[in-house]
Chain A
């Protein structure tokens, strides 16, 4: 088990490196001179020369990669083209906001998904099952940015109950003023993971209930509660793996929903970066989000192995 952990962590390192490489290449696939991608057009000649030296822009690509990596590891993602601030500063605030939104949506989506999926799996073939599956299919088919717009129309424009834009005034605080801004974006973002988790949990539960050991458990005269514990423990590894992945997708893929609600997270940051052709911000944000995703995957893998006794000897 211990060696498995070591191996898995070690394996993540080349992945992380390769991910950095892809992010590094983003600057170079952008049309035009890399300098224009990193520095604003009115930069002084000295700045241009310094940056050229710093990032080794005359040198071959592998060297450039090394230099860039050296900067990144120290937290230097460069300066935003739009407002000359260090990318990292912008990222820190934004990442916190996105994490807030993503985790709220995740909790919401997972709870709904597990409940609906469990009901559908246990009461397979009944109306409840069909309704749950119908909801799941609708959930994964809906364009969530459109759904967000629909929610805004219903709850903001027509009913006027909830705000349409932003995360509330000033710093985040856990008060109603701020929470009311969180509701619509979180629910919108939660729909897709809810649908996916419902599907997954349903499949897992159906498969478990068809196993022989369920008859043995019934034959022991166990109460329904204990049976549920057995089913849940068997269903946990796969379900948790899926949910972990979903959390990663939520963090990395929140741009569309954040755009709809002008939620000041990494998604908005990406959006603005695209709009303003601010490559350093684009690059830095992508890198950070991807690294979060890699770490999340690693954690999910390890948790899944820890939960399933059959995999511990691997």
Chain B
């Protein structure tokens, strides 16, 4: 159990908006172990960023209502006090954000933003902290790190800024690294470098990593496992290669089919018709059904449970045959969401 970094059961998050509630996350279950890299894949509004931020309780406190079980590093995040959360952020878990230009304080140098994190959690100051900062910049492969320590964010290129952000996130040696679309705001050529860097660091330092993106290519590069998210729920999970080669859920299939690649030259672009549902009024049924070509009556009656066709894979679709339907042996799945 000491290997288990995150344990989420029936995690539900809603936001108060005027008189309505926006049901951003609706009953999400997952575990994450050390050295594992999980990618949460979904389009805008699927709830992936909200889920990620919930792990550090970074959603706006006055508007967010969290329920269910969320255990990060042995701490109950749903019930923890702000002081407890604040001690957790940095030494145990840290996050890299999407746009490094707006996510870094423009009036402090990179060095200052690294050392203040170290000073806060490890009470190391002065030249010692600066030395640590320098090592961190070298770890994230920033050229001329000594000079860059005293640079302001606006003086660096996009890729360097993101490396600086990674350095800040790593400054207190966290066991869990969270990344919210870390390459979306970067040029294509820089994206690859950053992705490789993240993968390398994760494995070198033995961290667990949860990665949020809408880009299948990115998911393929970095993840061990993928969880596809739609309308606040995980609708398919599985190891990265298996899932990308043969997705089970119609939505996941649609996503992969919609990917533009060399082979698609000359043929029509496949799209998924319709639009995601309004998260204020979410029915207790399959949320994708209105857009699904394979919709049946059963889809609208109630929310499909996870079906496990093989060990390690799961999908919430009535068309997916659970293996217990085929054989009678009940293997306990390894590393996939518990409740089935």
Contacts and interface: CB of A to CB of B under 8 A. Distances in A.
Q: Do chains A and B touch in the complex (CB under 8 A)?
A: yes
Interface of A: 211-213, 215-223, 226, 230, 233-234, 307-310
A237 to B, nearest CB: 8
B313 to A, nearest CB: 32
A143 B116 CA distance: 47
Contacts of A221: 85-91, 117, 120-121
6 contacts: A219-B95, A220-B90, A221-B89, A221-B117, A222-B86, A310-B154
B110 to A, nearest CB: 12
B56 A219 contact: yes
B97 interface: yes
B102 A211 contact: yes
B152 A310 contact: yes
Contacts of A310: 106-107, 152, 154
Nearest to B101: A212
A206 B87 CA distance: 26
B8 interface: no
Contacts of B107: 233-234, 307-310
A124 to B, nearest CB: 10
A164 B105 CA distance: 50
Contacts of A212: 97, 99, 102-103
Contact of B152 (A211, A230, A309): A309
Given A226-B116, A309-B107, A309-B152, A218 B102 contact: no
A220 B117 contact: yes
Interface in B232-276: none
Contact of B168 (A211, A218, A220, A234): A220
A82 B171 CA distance: 73
Given A230-B108, A234-B106, A220 B120 contact: yes
B86 A216 contact: no
Contacts of A218: 58, 89
Given A213-B105, A219-B94, A220-B168, 20 more contacts: A212-B97, A212-B103, A213-B103, A213-B106, A215-B53, A215-B58, A215-B103, A218-B58, A219-B56, A219-B97, A220-B116, A220-B120, A221-B88, A221-B117, A221-B120, A221-B121, A233-B107, A307-B107, A309-B106, A309-B107
Nearest to B119: A226
B97 A216 contact: yes
B99 A223 contact: no
Contacts of A216: 95, 97, 103-105, 165, 168
Interface on chain A toward B: helix, strand, loop, or mixed SS?
Answer: helix
Given A215-B58, A226-B120, A310-B152, A220 B105 contact: no
Contacts, number: 72
Interface of B: 53, 56, 58, 85-91, 94-95, 97, 99, 102-108, 116-117, 120-121, 152, 154, 165, 168
Contacts of A223: 86, 120
Contacts of B108: 230, 233
Contact of A220 (B94, B102, B154): B94
B89 A213 contact: no
Nearest to A208: B105
Contacts of B91: 221
List the 9 shortest-distance A-B pairs measured between CB atoms, nearest first: A221-B89, A212-B102, A221-B90, A309-B152, A221-B86, A212-B103, A220-B117, A216-B103, A213-B105
Nearest to A234: B107
A140 to B, nearest CB: 29
A234 B56 CA distance: 25
Nearest to B94: A219
A245 to B, nearest CB: 21
A126 to B, nearest CB: 10
Given A226-B116, A310-B154, A217 B105 contact: yes
B247 to A, nearest CB: 32
Contacts of B154: 309-310
A310 to B, nearest CB: 5
Nearest to A221: B89
Contacts of B56: 219
Contacts of A213: 102-106
A66 B13 CA distance: 75
Nearest to B154: A310
Nearest to B59: A215
Contacts of A219: 56, 58, 89, 94-95, 97
Contact of A222 (B53, B58, B94, B116): B116
Nearest to A312: B152
Max chain B CB contacts within 10 Å: which of A220, A226, A230? A220
Nearest to B120: A222
A21 B6 CA distance: 74
B85 to A, nearest CB: 8
Given A310-B106, A310-B152, A215 B90 contact: no
Contacts of B99: 212
